[in-house]
Structure 1
Amino acid sequence: MDLLSIQNPSFLKKMTNQQLEQLSEEIRHFLIEKLSKTGGHIGPNLGVVELTIALHKCFDSPQDKIIWDVGHQSYVHKILTGRAKDFDTLRQYKGLCGFPKRSESEHDVWETGHSSTSLSAAMGMAIARDLKKEKSYIVPVIGDGALTGGMALEALNHIGHEKKDIIVILNDNEMSIAPNVGALHNILGRLRTAGKYNWVKDELEYLLKKIPAVGGKLASTAERLKDSLKYLLVSGMFFEELGFTYLGPVDGHSFEDLLENIQYAKKVKGPVLLHVLTKKGKGYHPAENDKRGTWHGTGPYKIETGDIIKPVNAPPAWSKLVSDTVQKLARKDDRIVAITPAMPVGSKLEEFAKEFPDRMYDVGIAEQHAATMAAGLATQGMKPYLAIYSTFLQRAYDQVVHDICRQNLNVFIGIDRAGLVGADGETHQGVYDIAFLRHLPNIVLMMPKDENEGQHMVYTALNYDDGPIAMRFPRGNGYGVPLDDQLKEIPIGSWNVLKEGNEAVILTFGTTIPMALEASHLLEKQGISVKVVNARFIKPMDEALLTEILEQQLPILTIEEAVLQGGFGSAVLEFAQEKGYHNAVIQRMGIPDRFIEHGSVKELLREVGLTVDHIVDKILTMTPKKQKRA
């Protein structure tokens, strides 16, 4: 079949199971070929080919709402809804989004980049459907890893209580980004082994009905017997106790099983949970045999070998630099404990876990729990390192405020993927953490200019005893600078001057330092002397150095790869106002007040005006006398 010609999923209605199986093979071949060039989330999508086809065959999207909790699992959905022709642009600037996007298709009814949201969204849609007296099926598709998120459990509880007609598809591949953890995962494991549960349950209920009901006593005894045998048959009837009709487990790669059970689920009143077993990476050997999570999401790769195409002799990743330093310090300080919410691979904590298995905790997709657990550790004199992506730290905001900062606890938060992250787009851009952390009492917030300063900051953080401290660091690799053998503490709140100048000042930190230095050298050639300051401590700022600069009445340009509202530049403006420097010339450059979509980091920086040329132009407008002379 020509996948590029697909306009909508209606063609599936007339297809036989054999034709559907052929279509599945064609889609897998298409994905393997296209993603080898663009990169993307290949493992998750290869695992849901049959499931996605079955859903679109049984339901009428977009009237029926198929809600993808794991948004990066929607590639097959995109193909079936007419977007195969756009896959050459997947995750590229102005191209096809790697997640569901409502503006992209009417079939994308919910946008998600963070997991565990689909059930709450489904409940909202179901309530709206019923209030409007409409007829439609609401079908959230949630993974077993996402089901460990607290928000998903809250929604399950509410859906079961309200008895709304919602068909929850539990896509159980036993393998999220990292191996799943927790008691709920163990419940699912037991359910997987009880494949004949529903048949036995139905037979049991039929036989019990044959018992003559002589008086209420015997009837109640029979009911208790049924319950006892139910618990005997399947250890932990979690979903049924929550008010769901549980169906499964079902082979997620068998159209016969899928179609039969989906049609049955459509006939059941009230909430249904259809437990579907799939294999992540199915159909592509390297992805099928992935034990580390490498094939969860990749860059381009060689189809024949599965080798990931990476830059040759690239410097170490920032995540590895930070985790290696934490691991090094943990050998001398047994108070150090590492915590991650389902990101041990991305945060490069696997080696730490091997060396210190009792001091490494992957809590699953549970960012709020991770933050408060770190706070609990800190109350007992431990030194918790919370490794978390900037975009996921947003989910633990209240815990950072209420449990960590309010109690002034010694938690070290490693904010990974800070700044623009590129291809994952607006749900993953780590540009808000400065704005939502800077105003919190007690916290220290810093960002290094390179790996060497980064390792010293880690050392500083784990030796800091006066409250919470956070270090931002970007996605990707460092610069390859030499690393000092001896670690040292950096004075809290200290900045340092990277280049002297006497006509304007650039205050910046982290990833924007190289462009600031390059701009200053270009301006030097035009006769404009610009000082460049590494403002590595965003909070507290170096008030002595900032006061000195303000006293000199030099124009100040702040640059940050983060949102301008409430950011570092705002802090400089606030300081100038509070200290009475009302005539100070201060301009800011950063991320504007809108969500930044996907593309390469370089393309996105150009789009938002964070480039060397933009810096040069900005300084020229701030030094008009020099501009006229030039």
Structure 2
Amino acid sequence: MSNSSTYTTRFPLLAKADTPAALRTVPGEHLGELAAEIRAFLVEKVCATGGHLGPNLGVVELTLALHRVFDSPRDTIIFDIGHQAYVHKLLTGRFRDFDGLRQQGGLSGYPSRTESVHDLVENSHASTALSYADGLAKARRLSSEADRDRAVVAVIGDGALTGGLAWEALNNLGAAPERPVIVVINDNGRSYAPTTGALAVHLSDLRRQADGARPESNVFIELGFAYLGPVDGHDVSAIEEALHRAQDLGRPVVVHTVTTKGKGYEPAERDEADCLHAVGAVNPATARSSIPAGQSWTSVFGSELATLAAERDDLVAITASMLRPTGLHPMQEKLPDRVFDVGIAEQHAVASAAGLAMGGFHPVVAIYATFLNRALDQVLMDVALHRLPVTFVLDRAGITGPDGPSHHGVWDPSMLSAVPGLRIAAPRDTVQLAEQLREAVAMNDGPTVLRLPKATAGPPIPSLARMDGLDILHRTRSGPLDVLLIPAGPLASAALEAAVLLEDQGLGVTVADPRWILPVNAALPAHAARHRLVVTIEDALRTGGMGTALAQACQDLAVPTPVITLGLPTAFVQQGPRAALLAEAGLDGPGIVAAVLAAHPDRRPPSAWSATTLATTPRGRDDHH
């Protein structure tokens, strides 16, 4: 039996309601049964592939109501962040494609313009939906009369509503009664963790007033919105009624819905630690993986930071609503007064860290590498300009895997290389992570950065010697020094694999770990001068990072050795397994060998390597000199 017929048999209502038009024909008395089918389907499929489980289970009825009231894609429905858009995908023609969710070549884990006309916005960074909605409403207002009747609906969680960008948009939307944007708040009291700050308290007060007298005003009314709610977010008819009222008002409206994250799936409903916000492949009966979990880089960092903080009273930590995902939970348990969760507000997190540093503390800002992009101005002007001792620990640096182009942490070295006085470390293993974290927090004359991959920690990679701050990991025992391989961080293992393969080709190879990759160690150009070819290998864009900086340093010092930079292309890399995507970019052992043999002045690639060379070289290398 095909997957399609199996789906039809096991999920008959969902199979018939997999487009918005078909959904609107489902009788109201069957919507509860349809919601139950959707939840069962999500638990089965997301537990098989991994993905955002808790958020999607919580918005089943809300999404049903949205697609029954509004005519997508004529009406525009924007999901902020997008990790709660799986139900939307099911109801817009992608029901039968879910076996490929977050798999290479399969469905994205976020809205995707290439997948469906119902996905106008391909967003997966928080707090953006209201600004998109503001711009779309302006465009509709400036267009034809027919366009003015097209609704603009933005769905935003209470967690994403803590972001400053959301409030910039609310400030504009509330002052424009001629632009009737409908803001639907999906209020479950959480993002990755319980929502923090004054807004969380205010929404909690509004939730408690659901059955009693409502105040004449609240923050949304004061900003110029009509306010409808709180509405039971698991009652389709109640949500539909509120959405119809919002449409009829013809002005900016906030519809405040209250939902339960993980609704209908017991392990997710009682998941206080939000471990089921996003899952890998797990057993749906237990929500636990059958594969023993290795020690992650994140957990090692968390443990080391908690130890350091116990030794030093001046260490504090900041996160932007990612306490557990960035490893700060151990320190928060031991020293709660010195860990600050500022909500989804990366700019504020960094500027606040600057204030803490001015007050005599050493802040450690733990954040995903891709999210630091949002606070570059604060890194540059609020921290670096003042030469403040702030340490940034960038989790998910480099290729992250199934979350796709918005979550790969590949831009930070290129951007941060332009920040004066900032130093970037890339530990090759967790032993170096502990050592370099201590080095970073000991520096008091400017900002420091540690890049950590989303990966299971491998075994330690010992060095033969430390010379001028460089760790020599491998050196051919005799003969000429043909090739100097300089890997950044955990790509040291690929460089060591390549070194063995290159020695089999008769080349003499040195592998040197710079440990601190930017700015360039002053000793590296001298090491480069003793070799005939230098190859840098980094899990980041190949332009503007470590390799580019070393090539410039060699040029400035008239070092004639050519520098080949291997890295990731200036492109949005799609989802896929980390190892596969690195190999595709030529950042595994064979890919490095192919690049060396193609570039070495005395070598042409043997036939055994030519196919690999042709496949990887154009995407994964830059030639300097």
TM-score (norm 2): 0.91
2:261 aligned residue: 280
| Matching residue within 410, 413, 431 for 1:431 | 410
**What is the alpha-carbon distance in structure 2 between the residues aligned to residue 118 and residue 577 of structure 1?**
46
Q: Does 1:98 align with 2:97?
A: no
**What is the alpha-carbon distance in structure 1 between the residues aligned to residue 535 and residue 605 of structure 2?**
20
1:271-328 C-alpha deviation (Å, 9 max, x unpaired)? 000000011101100001111110100011112222233435x2x2111211211111
1:76-104 C-alpha deviation (Å, 9 max, x unpaired)? 00000010111001000011000001111
1:497 aligned residue: 472
1:70 deviates by: 2.8
**What is the alpha-carbon distance in structure 2 between the residues aligned to residue 175 and residue 141 of structure 1?**
15
For 1:15-414, what aligned pairs fall within 5 Å after superposition?
15-133=26-144, 134=147, 135-163=149-177, 164-196=179-211, 230=216, 237-311=218-292, 314=294, 316-414=295-393
SS across alignment from 1:386:
strand
SS across alignment from 1:304:
coil
SS across alignment from 2:24:
helix
Q: 1:626–1:125: structure 2 CA closer, same or farther, 3 Å change rule?
A: closer
1:487 aligned residue: none
My pick for the range that moved more, 616-625 or 297-306, is: 616-625
1:422 deviates by: 0.4
**What is the alpha-carbon distance in structure 2 between the residues aligned to residue 334 and residue 363 of structure 1?**
21
**What is the alpha-carbon distance in structure 2 between the residues aligned to residue 480 and residue 342 of structure 1?**
31
SS across alignment from 1:426:
coil
**What is the alpha-carbon distance in structure 2 between the residues aligned to residue 419 and residue 439 of structure 1?**
18
| Matching residue within 542, 545, 551 for 2:524 | 545
**What is the alpha-carbon distance in structure 2 between the residues aligned to residue 247 and residue 24 of structure 1?**
24
Letter in 2 for 1:153: W
1:488-534 C-alpha deviation (Å, 9 max, x unpaired)? xx99x822211114111111121211011001101111211111111
State the percentage of identical aligned residues. 41
> Is contact 1:528-1:626 (8 Å) kept?
no
Letter in 1 for 2:68: K
> Is contact 1:4-1:83 (8 Å) kept?
no
> Is contact 2:484-2:531 (8 Å) kept?
no
1:510 aligned residue: 489
**What is the alpha-carbon distance in structure 2 between the residues aligned to residue 353 and residue 7 of structure 1?**
44
**What is the alpha-carbon distance in structure 1 between the residues aligned to residue 471 and residue 326 of structure 2?**
29
Letter in 1 for 2:33: Q
**What is the alpha-carbon distance in structure 2 between the residues aligned to residue 72 and residue 310 of structure 1?**
25
Please report the RMSD computed on the Cα atoms of aligned residues, expressed in angstroms.
1.9
My pick for the range that moved more, 50-59 or 505-514, is: 505-514
> Is contact 1:39-1:297 (8 Å) kept?
yes
**What is the alpha-carbon distance in structure 2 between the residues aligned to residue 541 and residue 21 of structure 1?**
61
My pick for the range that moved more, 499-508 or 442-451, is: 499-508
| Matching residue within 576, 584, 590 for 2:561 | 584
TM-score (norm 1): 0.90
1:528-577 C-alpha deviation (Å, 9 max, x unpaired)? 11111112211222222322322x25211111110012111111111122
> Is contact 1:497-1:531 (8 Å) kept?
yes
Q: Which has the higher contact order (CA 8 A, sep 6+)?
A: 1
> Is contact 2:18-2:95 (8 Å) kept?
no
Size of the alignment, in residue pairs? 586
Larger Cα-atom Rg:
1
Q: 1:483–1:303: structure 2 CA closer, same or farther, 3 Å change rule?
A: farther
My pick for the range that moved more, 38-47 or 188-197, is: 188-197
1:55-114 C-alpha deviation (Å, 9 max, x unpaired)? 000000001000000311000000000101110010000110000011110000111111
For 1:2-17, what aligned pairs fall within 5 Å after superposition?
3-4=14-15, 8-17=19-28
Q: 1:176–1:289: structure 2 CA closer, same or farther, 3 Å change rule?
A: same
**What is the alpha-carbon distance in structure 2 between the residues aligned to residue 626 and residue 82 of structure 1?**
53
Q: 1:464–1:85: structure 2 CA closer, same or farther, 3 Å change rule?
A: same
**What is the alpha-carbon distance in structure 2 between the residues aligned to residue 408 and residue 124 of structure 1?**
38
1:615 aligned residue: 592
Q: 1:264–1:333: structure 2 CA closer, same or farther, 3 Å change rule?
A: same
Runs of 4 or more consecutive aligned structure 1 residues displaced over 4 Å after TM superposition: 4-7, 626-630
2:546 aligned residue: 568
> Is contact 1:451-1:483 (8 Å) kept?
no
**What is the alpha-carbon distance in structure 2 between the residues aligned to residue 477 and residue 441 of structure 1?**
33
My pick for the range that moved more, 91-100 or 468-477, is: 468-477
1:466 aligned residue: 445
**What is the alpha-carbon distance in structure 2 between the residues aligned to residue 626 and residue 241 of structure 1?**
72
1:555 aligned residue: 533
**What is the alpha-carbon distance in structure 2 between the residues aligned to residue 11 and residue 285 of structure 1?**
30
SS across alignment from 2:283:
coil
SS across alignment from 1:344:
coil
**What is the alpha-carbon distance in structure 2 between the residues aligned to residue 230 and residue 174 of structure 1?**
23
SS across alignment from 2:344:
coil
> Is contact 1:6-1:84 (8 Å) kept?
no
> Is contact 2:17-2:23 (8 Å) kept?
no
My pick for the range that moved more, 602-611 or 292-301, is: 602-611
SS across alignment from 1:401:
helix
Letter in 1 for 2:532: L
1:624 deviates by: 4.6
> Is contact 2:528-2:561 (8 Å) kept?
no
Q: 1:121–1:309: structure 2 CA closer, same or farther, 3 Å change rule?
A: farther
Structure 2 residues not aligned, in runs of 5+: 1-11, 608-625
> Is contact 2:413-2:545 (8 Å) kept?
yes
1:343-387 C-alpha deviation (Å, 9 max, x unpaired)? 111012112111101101111101111101111111121111111
For 1:516-531, what aligned pairs fall within 5 Å after superposition?
516-531=495-510
Letter in 2 for 1:577: Q
> Is contact 1:508-1:536 (8 Å) kept?
no
SS across alignment from 2:175:
helix
1:462 deviates by: 1.3
1:553-608 C-alpha deviation (Å, 9 max, x unpaired)? 52111111100121111111111221223x43111110011100111111211222
**What is the alpha-carbon distance in structure 2 between the residues aligned to residue 167 and residue 254 of structure 1?**
19
> Is contact 2:485-2:537 (8 Å) kept?
yes
